[in-house]
Amino acid sequence: MFLLFISAIFVMLTKCFCQIDLYILGLFPFEGAWPGGVALLNAVQIGLEQINERADVLPGYKLNLIWNNSKCNPGLGVDIMYKHLYAPPTKILILGDGCSGVSEATGQSSHLWNLVQMSYVSVSPSLSDKNRFPRFVRSNSPDVDVNPARVEIFKQFGWSNIATLHQSFELFSVPTEDLMARLKEANMTIVRSEIITGSPAVQVKALQDADVRIIVGSFYENMARQVFCEAYKVGLYGNKIVWVINGWFDDFWWLVPDVNVDCTPEEMSRAVEGYIAVDRLYISPIEIPAISGLTPSQYLAVYANRTNNVNYPGTKAAPMGYDSIWALALALNDTLTELIDTGNPKRLEDFAYSDAELGLLIWTKMLNVKYRGVRGQVAFNEKGDPVAMFSIDRVQGGEVQMVGLYDPNLVADVKIEWLPATPIVWAGGKIPKDSLTIYRTTTRLSFPLYLSMCCISALGIALSICFLAFNIHFRKLRIVKMSSPRLNNVILAGCVLLYITVFLEQTDKELVAGLCLSKVFLLTLGFSMAFGALFAKTWRVHVIFTNATKQKKVLKDSQLFVMVGVLVAINTVVLLSWTFIDPLRVIDNDLDPVVYEDRDVEIRSHVETCTSTKQIYFVGTLFGIQGILLLLGTFLAWETRKVKLDGLNDSKMIGLCIYNVIVLSFLGVTVSMTLGSQIELNYALTSIIVIIATTVTMCLIVVPKIVAVRTNSVDIVETTTATTGAAVNTMQSNVHAAKINILELQLKEKDKEIARLKEKLDNTVGGVVPKEEDV
C-alpha cells in the first residue's frame, strides 16, 4: 500500500511539474452561416481541463488547444490551417470545423501532414468518403443517417406523398438525393422537389401551389427563418401541413432577430408550430456517469456555470464538442499505450508531419475508441462516423419537445420508440393527411333516368307498330294507297331504328365501344330510311305535276325504293369506311374535381366517350349528306305546294317534318357539344329530341290518313262499287283536266306559229313564191 501511495504521488508530481505539451489546432466558427463556435469552444475547454487533471489519461502530457475563428468560411479555414501547420509548434491533431464546408476544404488536405482531423458537428455526407477524406472522423452523424428515421416516421403516420426543399449546397443536396432514393425504394411518391438558390419565396409558393402537405426541408438556420416566413405569407403552415427539417438548429431559432425576415415573432411562432425534426441525441436522457465522471445533468450544470447561462448559438450541440475532445484524448492515450507496450521508442512528442507510421497508428486508435460520453455510448464505424441514436423532436405549444427515439441498431422492424411522457398532440386528434384523399369514379348514366327514357322510347316503338299495322290493313283504300303505303312502311321502319338508339347508352365499360358504333349506325340509317322515303314521295309528286311534256312520266314504287336504297348505301359506305379506317375508341374525359375541404377529400370523376382521330371528317361527311337531303326535300315540298290532290300529296306535311327535323337536329347537336361531359343531362335532352322529332314525323305522315279514314268510315265499310267508281271517276277527271290544260298550252303555241307564217306571206315581194313547207 505504501508503494502504491508513493507511485500515485510520483505520477501526480510528474503530471504537474514534468508535463510535455501536445498541441491541437482548433477551428471554430464564431460567425457566418452557423455561428456556434463560442458554445462549442466552451464545451471543449471544459473537457480539456478535466483531461489534463486526470492522472490516468495521457500521464506526463498536457493537451493544449490553439483555437481560431474560421467564420464558417472554407477559404479562411484552409488559410488558417496552412499558416499554423507551417508555424511551430507541431500540431498532433486538428479539431474542427463546425461548418461542413470548412471541414471539407481542410479535410481534403490535412491528411497530407499525416494528421487526424475530427469535427464535432459537421454533418455533410461527403465527409464519409474515405477516398477524399482518408483521416477524417466526426462526433456528429452525417445527414444521410437521419433519412432512415424520416422514412420510418412517414411509414408510421401513413404518409406516402412527400415534397422536398433544400438549399443549393452539397451539405443539403446529397442527403436530399439519398432521401429521394429511399422514398422511391419504399414506394413513396416525390410530389415536388425545389432547390433554393437565393430567396426562397418562389420555391415556397411553388410548393403551396402544388398543394403539398408533407415537406422535408434541408437548409441552414438563417435560411430556415426566411423559409418559414414565406410559408406564413402564402399559408403553407397549420394543422394540415407538416414540415420535417434539420434538428441541429438552436432552441427557439425562429425568434432570433434577422434582417432578412420581415415576419413578427408571433407570425414565426405560428408558422413553425408542429414541425418535426430528426436529430442526433445531443444529451443522454439516462443519468449514467460519462468517462469524465459527470452525469449528463451534472455536465449541463457545469456548462451553464461556465457560460453564465448565456444561450450562445450552438449551445444545443455543445455536448458533442465535450465528447469530441475526450475522444481525441483517449485515442492519443491508446496510442501512447501501444507504443509503450510494443517497445517502440517513439513517443507522442516525437510526432512529425512526415511520420506516416505514427500518424496511421493514431488514426487506427481513433477508429477503435469506445467510451461513454454525456450523449451516451460513443463509437465510430469504418468511415469515421459515429454509431448513435436519433431523437425525434416536435414543436408543440411553442416549445421543442422530444417525442421519440430512433435506434438504427434495433433488430425489430419498428425502430422508433415514442415517448409516452411527451406524446404528439395532433390538432383535432387526427393525423394530418399527406394529400387530399382522392376518389376516382366513373360517372355513368343513372338507371332510373335510363329506364324512363327507354320506356318512353318503347311507347314510340309501339306507336310505330300501330301505324304500320294501320298502313298495312288499309293499304288498298284510296286515301292510303295514293300516299304510297310501302314508302310509309319504310318511314316507320326508320323511325323504329331511331327509337332504338335511345336504348344504346353505355352502362358498362366493356360495352361502350360497341354501343357507340351501333348508335351511330342506327341513327344514320334510321334517318336515311325515314327522311329518304319522304324525299322519294315528294319527288314523285314533283315529277307528275310539274312535267309539261306531252307524255306523262310515271314513277313506280320500285324506282323510289332504289332511290332510298342508294341514299342508305351511300351512308353505309361512309360508316363502314369510318369503322375500318379510323375505328371509334373509348377515352376517359376528366370532369372538374369536387373538393370537400373539411374532410380533405377530392372526388375526381370521368366519363367514357367514344372518339377517333379523324372523327370530324366522317361526321362532317354524314352531316353534309343529310343536309343536302334536307335542302332538296325543302325545295321539292315548296315546288309541289299548290298541288291539291288529296291523298297523293304530302308536301305540306313534309314541309312541317323538315322544319321539325332541322330545328330539333340543330338543337340536338348544340346540346351534345355543350353538355358532352354532363352525361345524364346530355342523354336526357338528346333522347327527348330524338323521341320528339321521330314521333312528330310519324304523326304528321300517318295521323292525317287515320283522320281521313275515320271521317269516311261509312264509305269504307260499305266499299260499294259506286263509291269505288266515283273515286276512280274523280281521279280520271283530275287526270283529264290536267291533260286538257296541257293541250290548251300546245294550241296557244300553234296559234302563235300560224300568225308568224301569215305575216311572212303578207310581206313577200318581187313575186317570190314561198316555200312549200312555209305554205
Choose the weakest-confidence range: 285-299, 375-389, 402-416, 609-623.
402-416
Full DSSP string of 15-35: HHHSPEEEEEEEEE-SSSSS-
Q: Is the pLDDT of residue 470 over 60?
A: yes
* 141 vs 318, more confident: 318
Residue in the structure block whose three cell numbers are 426566411 = 226
Q: Return the H-helix or E-strand segment holding 714.
A: helix 713-718
- Report the candidate in 599, 608, 481, 461 with the shortest Cα–Cα distance to residue 537: 481
For residue 425, what is its C-alpha cell? 398532440
Average pLDDT over residues 367-380: 91
Choose the weakest-confidence range: 67-81, 182-196, 702-716.
702-716
Q: Is the pLDDT of residue 13 over 60?
A: no
CA 557 to CA 284: how far, in whole Å?
106
Q: What is the pTM of this model?
A: 0.58
Please tell me the predicted confidence (pLDDT) of residue 727: 43
Average pLDDT over residues 280-307: 92
What is the average pLDDT value for the chain, to the nearest integer?
84
Provide the percentage of residues in the chain whose pLDDT is more than 90. Answer: 45
Backbone angles phi, psi at 634, to 5 degrees: -65, -45
Backbone angles phi, psi at 434, to 5 degrees: -75, -10
A 10 A CB-CB count for 430 gives 10
For residue 186, what is its C-alpha cell? 419504399
| CB-neighbour burial class of residue 382 (10 A; exposed 0-12, middle 13-18, buried 19+) | exposed
Average pLDDT over residues 222-240: 94
Kindly report the CA angle at 646 between 640 and 651, in degrees rounded to 5? 30
Instruction: Kindly give, in sequence order, each residue whose CB lies less than 8 Å from that of residue 478, ignoring residues fewer than 6 positions away.
Output: 647, 727, 731
Q: Which of 116-120, 566-570, 613-617, 745-749 has the highest mean pLDDT?
A: 116-120
- Report the candidate in 237, 218, 224, 229 with the shortest Cα–Cα distance to residue 261: 229
CA 692 to CA 495: how far, in whole Å?
11
A 10 A CB-CB count for 31 gives 14
In SS3 terms, 720-773 reads as CHHHHHHHHHHHHHHHHHHHHHHHHHHHHHHHHHHHHHHHHHHCCCCCCCCCCC
Average pLDDT over residues 291-306: 94
At 203, the amino acid letter reads Q
End-to-end CA distance of the chain, in Å?
Answer: 178
Taking the C-alpha atoms of 86, 87, 88 and 90 in order, what is their torsion angle to the nearest 10 degrees? -30
Instruction: Judge whether 68 and 62 are in contact, CB under 8 Å.
Output: no
Q: How many Å is the maximal CA-CA distance in the chain?
A: 188
Q: Is the pLDDT of residue 18 over 70?
A: no
Structure confidence at residue 28 as a pLDDT band (50, 70, 90): very high
A 10 A CB-CB count for 195 gives 14
Strand-pairing partners, residue 533, are: none
For residue 20, what is its C-alpha cell? 510535455
User: What is the DSSP-derived secondary structure letter of residue 674?
Assistant: H
Instruction: Kindly give, in sequence order, each residue whose CB lies less than 8 Å from that of residue 202, ignoring residues fewer than 6 positions away.
Output: none
Strand-pairing partners, residue 603, are: 439, 594
